[in-house]
Structure 1
């Protein structure tokens, strides 16, 4: 102990020399310094002012302030403030329920804030914009994309160790999982949110957690527990003074009290909700509250009043494109009409609701309306129509099950990516700590030479400290290895499970080829790649002089082939379905002999197959079609316990890029329709051959709904498109196939 004290005293005496030496030896070393971004008080004041205006429901003022904010930021070319201005514009759009506009503003905010983070290392504003954009996707029912954005935001907050925002991110994850129907996972996410708030002692942030827990308990059939939570949320909202949140709580309480039969209390709350939504100008939320008002009127025995309210809501929702709310209104209006014994009106509402739910891709709502339709048709003794509606409902139930399975896979993938990246962050932090330890060790080594007068004593102390450090490093390394091995094992198990689920859902059981769902999940990316390469070349091509222009890059196009086995129904009728299955399985082998491993080989349905040949020149498409037709016809198909069977096929194809309509989301549908028309022409020309479209005039209106064999024939005769085929003369039918 005395030796240690003596060493400390000596070190203090030599401290000036030590500081001087350290300044000299570290002058050429790059240190890790946290960059602090200066905050302009003027921008901060603008942001607080517009947030206050939005909270008070004055969205016109909030828009004006946000526009001024953006103009000032653009004048100073400040990426951070420009990004935050677009973020505020997105928040204003969300307050009006204008989600397409909110998405546009927030995507611009993410782009600007990403650039700012790369230049200045300021990641927190980027994380806030990412999480907000995720919630926009949640309101548009794109839950897998929503989870992806929220997890990206959470990774940044984990890196910044921002406990409050980590808690908020868990709340967003729970809300999205609830919308996906994964209530257990949603409860776990909200539990994580509660734990983070508990660590910080932030009771003021509990309102959103309690609101979400109330929703979950209501959906899980515990209205009493839900009511307890909603009342607590109302007290917190009233204390905060946020009109929108207060209006939401009043509306939820009105809905719950109506279900509980406490109609007087429900009436008080719905009046408050209607008044507040009108004050803040939230038109969509105001009509949402009116549907609760109609539900209350029905419970009070006033079906005619309820119907008048709902008819007005339906009219406004149709005009303003409140599509999800429109389905709610149709469903409740049908219930009111059924209570009034107005079966004809009820059927009109049900059919309209089914059509709108189908357009919204809200399969659960569509199935519920189909169930109401079945009940009404049975009441009318229309058994055939009731059976058809029941079959449609069963098909929807099957599709809902498959959609939930796909959503679960997407959620697992997002969680896997997040866990993997968290592990990378922890590993980088560990490496940073080790690097810091090495720097400290270097300082100790330099100090050793400064203390020349105490060389022997300091040497012993240094060796002893290094020995302790070595033991500590060994223990730490052992702990890291154990944790790393456990994490790798869990990641491996999760990856295998996901791979098995993905393989089952994307593969045709009979042939082992990819199925329609696989192609629909991947084709848009392939078309976008071709379209982007063509666009880049076209821009470069137009900027050059005629003598300097170059041709389209090699292997930058694709072709979509539609293959159909000839007389396949006769084959099944004459030789049995087992023989047909054998032929379909052998078609896969012949496809693999002609097309490449990188091409998409898909069983489209029945005896139809689709092939997407990627990264080719369009001139090669006819060669591939000819080779495949020859490959199928050249060798008989081997059948179990039967003689070999000769089979032929017909092929129609379309090349890409083409000058199609401006909506890229419909390009694949258009290409498939063109290939189908070409296939139909090949069938009519004698089968065992191929036909395809390689180019078209940019003036043709190629919309999927307007394409047919008649139009292709007419355009070919006018010289507006280029068709190639393997027949002596391409024969067209007198009428197009419907």
Structure 2
């Protein structure tokens, strides 16, 4: 159920069937429902003391509470407040920080640039540093609104700590809250909790109940990620109490959304559902089409997970025109996707696909390549459940292609970073050697002068020079040896997955040469994908997901021989290559892999996590015509049958016994319709079932 809520608050990944599938699509809504949390207090005519919280004007406080429902209009009101404020005062600076945050949410880059220019040329020298820090804050908000969360975090990290500690409390709290949420989103939970506790202390100092409520709701998020559910529950219950006392509709909307997240994570679906319905009531009361559209879409996610597809469809169809009215592109994407998934589940497969495809086209046009991949994966899951195995396999293949492209970009980035570190080290050593050479040259010059003045010391100078040259030679040898060692370490690091210790794709591409004659693979390939891995991340946390990957990698290593190649292929996928082609041996290994992954459950933090996998495998050259293929085509073929295993129920292995093809072009054509070819008898497949386990919900 977590997926229902993460869209509203931009929390870490989640999905209805696999809660994290749609987070990439909707992280931008962190700003939509949380902007009020980041702008905390109203201005005072003069700069407040470092430990004093200004009381401020009710007009600016109201903009902070409700402005994100219509950020462009709210920014205009803030502009009017600024024009009436004393120029160069803290009051004026405070208003600009609120106006800039609203402009970032409205994606009005031109108007925001004007605000930034005013801050960069602030006339009051006593507030110059504060204005400079505010510029970084607003640029981070701009990046955040564009879903560039990592860049936003780096921008906030660039604010000098002294500037932060010296900033007046209203601004300091905004900075702390923004950075705390960004740290939480990037997995730096300890830093997030520390920052959010500081922000909460300032909120309590302000005396504003609505702000205290929102602070506690956000802190509950960090406690959830830190695996402290009791603290999370306590925080969100206190947030609800404060919001009920305040009775502001926008505050209640946000707090009940936060409450729903906590109760969903604590496996209390009925309370989570009640919170979702309350959030919708308050969105209607606040007359905020944008918030209402998102809340309806989120509640639709909830009903999709409960398999109440008719109700989910009704909610999504109500959300769609509201999102379009509010010009909320992300809300429109959520609604379109949910309409499509609901229709697919109701048997209207072709029509449902059209809605999902429309959403993906919009998403791709907006640059959301990764979120398109997540939507494809989700589409595959729904088509699989609807019985459209061929459509599911097609969606999974498209998802794999996007995932591979993302992974290759990450690999290239990691290699470039490692090479840059190596080059920096090498340059430093070269500079050191150059300095030594310069020292020798200076010594030689001095020796020449002494030679002219003191012929009697000529022999001694030669001895000294010889010793220096000998020492230099020894040092050069040691330096070269160190460079060679560093180069070898770089090579090793670039070929090992840092989490699991298994080989990575780079190592595979080098090692596969010994198993490929003239580029043609000889041996058996297994491709293993952990079932519902994103759901594991969402239910137990990303640290638990990492623990599952490490545990599974150990089980895979134990299942094979020492000289077999085991690779972390990417994400939750693993690749195994063995030399044996014996049908009996290969089938036994496939069954052993299923059994060892499936039992016993992975133990993490006192919890038993059920893990299963889908496996595709095949031996090469391919029987019965001994068709030889290169390793890329071999893996694509195994990938196809692995997705067939997923489409036919997961926790199973599908292996190719034989293919009635004699050349690679015929193989490619058959692979495009593998499921149909199997039913027609042109493909011989072997299906193996994994161990009986408790289903992961």
TM-score relative to the length of structure 2: 0.43
TM-score relative to the length of structure 1: 0.41
| Larger of the two Rg values belongs to structure | 1
Higher relative contact order by CA 8 Å / sep ≥ 6: 1 or 2? 2
